[in-house]
């Protein structure tokens, strides 16, 4: 009997006791300073018992001991009834967990829900930075978590490859680049283009300051700076299909795509389909014009098209400008419809920072107005910003933390700390290099994903790579420690050896935490929150390490105890590996 089934059995007994199946029966984890495996909150039941909290608790406890064989004892603390389950119950839970090779994981089939998850979605005028990394890791991990919950998942990104910001890099390269390319400069393509985006803004600031000194207002200077006018002119040429500009645009974008691919590869993330803004920016126009004919939208005197969103408590939103050109929300409407045409999804998740919260409320409301029945299943995975101890990042000033530099820095830190702690003794050089990469990237991914997505976070390199505490390296070391135990054992491992084993409190706690894994995984998907899974991995690792420090495993006189502690260690390592892999984090066998 599983823990969930046992809870249902307890409920049925209480329903029968009070002849009422509408009772609100609340369970909670027993507090650490009290003995018990599960606590019933008795206060809501006083309305039917017509007795004091203590008498009601005693009445329920006597009933449960009589009717639920798994309950062997209890204690009462005020209005809380703490239940104690039998040793055999917990042993059975562990055996069931151990025998399940895909414990907690559900496999999708053709009838499973299909999710489209959008993440990354960078601009092609600069390399990926720390803010992008949070987006990418959230989107990738949620995709994997949704898969593990038995859903089909399609991972997509929309690449912002057009507009004035792209032309700024192009103008700057054309003026100052002297034909430089990634090969001649030995600079990664996205870094090279980003270099010229920063150069543009440096020159632009200088020109604006010069014009202000000449008597221009700041607003006039910003609009009349020569390099800005050149970028605007280049955008007009791009929109008119000028061959020279289009060829330059393609060349520089391809440099960036090659750079992005290298970063994605190192992060071990991928996409099933890329959408490009240069292909999608007109997609929504026909939908808007059709909605106008159906009086879903309205037109102002200047011919601009708007939508009233008062029924959603939102302000009216422009959809087409007076000259008939589309705005950003128009593109998003068209892209959403195109994705449904492409994949017939059940749900769509947008991984985008919380500064776009209002935008997505508007988008989903408009899709609802257009009567797309899937619009209510569109969700915004909104996340907070990533700051540094030194302050906020600014791309145009070149003060961002570059994603590639950050990864390399963490891998180098992992190398230094691993060497200082003697973690690489007896390992081949290729194993050592792989370990540094695994630990460094594990530190980065875990430090970001352990934080609730909705919260802003401060990224601290030193804290992330610590081998103690709530970090990726600590969990990786726990896994590697267990692998070392398993390599050094000389027994055939099986739970068949564990019949009638008497659990100690630490072993029982480990089983309790293992029992939580399927629900944690389910909640992570429902809440679109990988931090639940990340912190669960830490909880399990921390509890195992306390067990390891308190109880001998291999050095024990009893073969039965050795085998049981090995099989419980083995299953813990499998759950750690499974949960961390859903976060994109690899586990080293040696460390």
Residue 38, phi then psi, degrees to nearest 5: -155, 140
Domain boundaries, the chain: 3-85, 163-248, 285-325, 404-581
Residue 226 and residue 125: Cα distance in Å, rounded?
Answer: 20
Pull the structure tokens for residue 295. 């009086």
Which value, to the nearest 10 degrees, does the dihedral of the CA atoms of residues 401, 145, 107, 101 take?
Answer: 90
Residue 116, phi then psi, degrees to nearest 5: -105, 125
- For 260, residues 6+ apart whose C-beta sits below 8 A from its C-beta are 122, 128, 190
- For 67, residues 6+ apart whose C-beta sits below 8 A from its C-beta are 13, 16
Concatenating the DSSP letter of every residue in 23-67 gives ---EEEPPPTTS--SEEEE-GGGHHHH-S-HHHHHHHHHHHHHHH
Average pLDDT over all residues of the chain? 94
Using left for φ > 0, alpha for ψ between -120 and 50, and beta otherwise, residue 519 falls in alpha
Pull the structure tokens for residue 585. 């984090």
pLDDT digits (tens, 9 = 90+) for 174-196: 999 999 999 999 999 999 999 99
CA-CA-CA-CA torsion sign (361, 365, 367, 368): positive
- Is a pLDDT exceeding 50 seen at residue 396? no
3-state per-residue secondary structure call for 548-567:
HHHCCCCCCCCHHHHHHHHH
Of the pLDDT bands very low, low, confident and very high (cuts 50, 70, 90), residue 399 is low
Residue 54 and residue 102: Cα distance in Å, rounded?
Answer: 43
Pairing of strands 38-41, 317-320: unpaired
Pull the structure tokens for residue 239. 């929109």
- Is a pLDDT exceeding 80 seen at residue 314? yes
Task: State the pLDDT at residue 513.
Answer: 97
Residue 438 and residue 446: Cα distance in Å, rounded?
Answer: 12
Residue 531, phi then psi, degrees to nearest 5: -65, -25
100: number of Cβ within 10 Å: 13
- Asked whether this chain's domains 3-85 and 404-581 adopt the same fold, the reply is no
Task: State the pLDDT at residue 465.
Answer: 87
List the single range of 107-121, 210-224, 409-423 with lowest mean pLDDT: 409-423
Give the closest residue to 591 by CA, choosing from 418, 465, 408: 418
Give the closest residue to 284 by CA, choosing from 317, 324, 329: 329
pLDDT digits (tens, 9 = 90+) for 534-550: 999 999 999 999 999 99
Task: State the pLDDT at residue 392.
Answer: 52
Does CATH place domain 3-85 in 3.30.1360.70? yes
pTM, full prediction: 0.93
SS3 116: strand
User: What value does the mean pLDDT take over residues 490-502?
Assistant: 81
Task: State the pLDDT at residue 159.
Answer: 96
Task: State the pLDDT at residue 393.
Answer: 47
Residue 434 and residue 142: Cα distance in Å, rounded?
Answer: 26
- Is a pLDDT exceeding 80 seen at residue 552? yes
User: What value does the mean pLDDT take over residues 29-39?
Assistant: 92
Residue 77, phi then psi, degrees to nearest 5: -130, 100
User: What value does the mean pLDDT take over residues 386-399?
Assistant: 60
pLDDT digits (tens, 9 = 90+) for 121-155: 999 999 999 999 999 999 999 999 999 999 999 99
530 and 524 in contact (C-beta within 8 Å)? yes
39 and 27 in contact (C-beta within 8 Å)? yes
Residue 235, phi then psi, degrees to nearest 5: -65, -40
User: What value does the mean pLDDT take over residues 52-65?
Assistant: 95
pLDDT digits (tens, 9 = 90+) for 320-367: 999 988 899 999 999 999 999 999 999 999 999 999 999 999 999 999
Residue 125 per-residue DSSP state: T
Task: State the pLDDT at residue 391.
Answer: 53
Task: State the pLDDT at residue 17.
Answer: 95
- For 543, residues 6+ apart whose C-beta sits below 8 A from its C-beta are 506, 509, 510, 513
188 and 404 in contact (C-beta within 8 Å)? yes
Pull the structure tokens for residue 37. 């495996």
Of the pLDDT bands very low, low, confident and very high (cuts 50, 70, 90), residue 395 is very low
Of the pLDDT bands very low, low, confident and very high (cuts 50, 70, 90), residue 418 is confident
Task: State the pLDDT at residue 482.
Answer: 97
- For 551, residues 6+ apart whose C-beta sits below 8 A from its C-beta are 504, 506, 565
SS3 172: helix
Task: State the pLDDT at residue 461.
Answer: 84
Task: State the pLDDT at residue 536.
Answer: 98
Across the chain, which distance is largest between two alpha carbons, in Å?
A: 93
User: What value does the mean pLDDT take over residues 249-260?
Assistant: 97
pLDDT digits (tens, 9 = 90+) for 443-479: 999 999 999 999 999 988 888 888 889 999 999 999 9
Classify domain 404-581 by CATH architecture.
Orthogonal Bundle (1.10)
- Cα 436 from chain centroid (whole Å): 23
502 and 560 in contact (C-beta within 8 Å)? no
Give the closest residue to 540 by CA, choosing from 507, 576, 574: 576
């Amino acid at each position: 009997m599983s823990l969930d089934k046992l809870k249902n059995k307890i409920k049925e007994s209480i329903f029968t006791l009070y002849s009422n199946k509408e009772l609100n029966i609340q369970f909670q984890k027993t507090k650490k300073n009290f003995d018990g495996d599960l606590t019933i909150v008795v206060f809501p039941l006083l309305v039917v018992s017509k007795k004091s909290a203590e008498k009601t608790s005693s009445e329920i406890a006597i009933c449960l001991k009589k009717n639920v064989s798994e309950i062997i004892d209890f204690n009462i603390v005020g209005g809380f009834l703490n239940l104690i389950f039998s040793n055999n119950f917990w042993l059975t839970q562990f055996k069931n967990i151990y025998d399940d090779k895909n414990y907690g994981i559900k496999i999708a089939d053709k009838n499973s829900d299909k999710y489209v998850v959008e993440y990354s979605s960078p601009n092609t005028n600069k390399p990926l930075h720390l803010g992008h990394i949070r987006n990418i890791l959230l989107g990738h991990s949620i995709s994997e978590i949704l898969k593990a919950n038995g859903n089909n998942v399609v991972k997509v990104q929309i690449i912002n490859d057009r507009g004035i910001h792209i032309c700024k890099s192009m103008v700057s390269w054309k003026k100052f680049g002297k034909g430089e390319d990634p090969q001649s400069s030995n600079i990664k393509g996205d870094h090279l283009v980003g270099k010229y985006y920063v150069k543009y803004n440096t020159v632009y600031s200088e020109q604006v300051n010069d014009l202000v000194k000449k008597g221009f207002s700041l607003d006039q200077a910003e609009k009349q700076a020569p390099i800005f006018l050149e970028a605007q002119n280049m955008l007009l040429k791009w929109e008119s299909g000028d061959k020279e500009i289009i060829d330059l645009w393609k060349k520089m974008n391809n440099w960036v795509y090659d750079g992005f691919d290298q970063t994605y590869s190192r992060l071990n993330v991928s996409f099933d389909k890329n959408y490009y803004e240069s292909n999608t920016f007109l997609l929504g126009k026909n939908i808007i014009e059709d909605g106008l004919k159906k009086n879903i939208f309205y037109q102002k005197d200047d011919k601009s098209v708007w939508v009233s969103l008062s029924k959603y408590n939102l302000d009216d939103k422009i959809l087409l400008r007076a000259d008939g050109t589309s705005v950003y929300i128009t593109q998003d409407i068209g892209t959403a419809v195109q994705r449904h045409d492409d994949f017939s999804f059940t749900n769509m998740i947008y991984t985008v920072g919380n500064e776009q919260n209002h935008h997505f409320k508007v988008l989903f409301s408009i899709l609802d107005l257009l009567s797309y029945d899937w619009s209510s299943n569109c969700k915004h995975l909104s996340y907070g910003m990533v700051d540094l101890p030194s302050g906020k990042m600014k791309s145009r000033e070149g003060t961002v933390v570059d994603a590639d530099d950050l990864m390399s820095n963490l891998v180098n830190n992992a190398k230094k700390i691993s060497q200082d702690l003697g973690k690489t003794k007896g390992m081949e050089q290729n194993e050592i290099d792989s370990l540094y990469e695994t630990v460094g990237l594990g530190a980065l991914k875990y430090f970001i994903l352990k934080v609730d997505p909705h919260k802003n976070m401060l990224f601290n390199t030193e804290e992330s790579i610590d081998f103690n505490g709530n970090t990726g390296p600590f969990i990786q070391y726990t896994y590697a420690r267990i692998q070392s135990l398993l390599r050094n054992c000389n027994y055939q491992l099986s739970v068949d050896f564990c019949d009638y084993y008497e659990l100690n409190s630490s072993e029982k706690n480990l089983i309790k935490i293992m029992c939580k894994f399927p629900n944690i995984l389910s909640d992570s998907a429902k809440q679109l929150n990988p931090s639940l899974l990340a912190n669960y991995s830490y909880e399990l690792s921390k509890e195992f390490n306390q067990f390891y420090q308190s109880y001998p495993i291999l050095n024990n006189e009893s073969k039965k105890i050795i085998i049981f502690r090995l099989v419980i260690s083995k299953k813990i390592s499998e759950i750690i590996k499974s949960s961390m892999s859903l976060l994109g984090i690899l586990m080293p066998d040696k460390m």
